Amino acid sequence: MSYHRRRRQAALCGLAAVEFEAVTTTPAPNLSPRPAADPDVDLMSPEYREIIALFATSGAAMRCKEVCQHLGLGTEPRHVEGMRSKLKRLVERGILAEPSSGLFKVDGRKQGW
């Protein structure tokens, strides 16, 4: 950001140039990623619990469209893509694994299943 632009923005904000500089250049606090705490399934929403129960009982690897069919959802792209994002979140949390692109299964090593 140029010196003149900072002065203009400082004038608009009603701050002295030095105060504006301090406000805009202060580094953000160190934000660490989400902690890898053990996922508590009881605290998850009902949709996620249904997905986890489906994978825990079947034990098979499934694609998003198959999961939608088993849960009684539609198989239109909007349903499949919504399910894909939920499954990807469960992979990030370590509950599911994605052995190949688009194929999801229970990550039993981390869950002890």
Question: pLDDT tens digits for 72-94?
Answer: 998 999 999 999 999 999 999 88
Compute how many other C-beta atoms are within 10 angstroms of the C-beta atom of residue 24: 13
In the chain, what percentage of residues exceed pLDDT 90?
35
All structural domains of the chain, each given as residue ranges with its CATH number in brackets, are: 1-27 (no CATH), 44-111 (1.10.10.10)
pTM of the predicted structure, to 2 decimals: 0.61
Question: Contacts by 42-47 with C-beta closer than 8 Å and gap 24+?
Answer: 47/86
Question: pLDDT tens digits for 31-52?
Answer: 555 544 445 666 788 899 999 9
Look at residue 35 in the predicted model and tell me its pLDDT.
47
What are the residues whose beta carbons fall under 8 Å from the beta carbon of 55, sequence distance 6 or more? 62, 96, 104, 105, 106
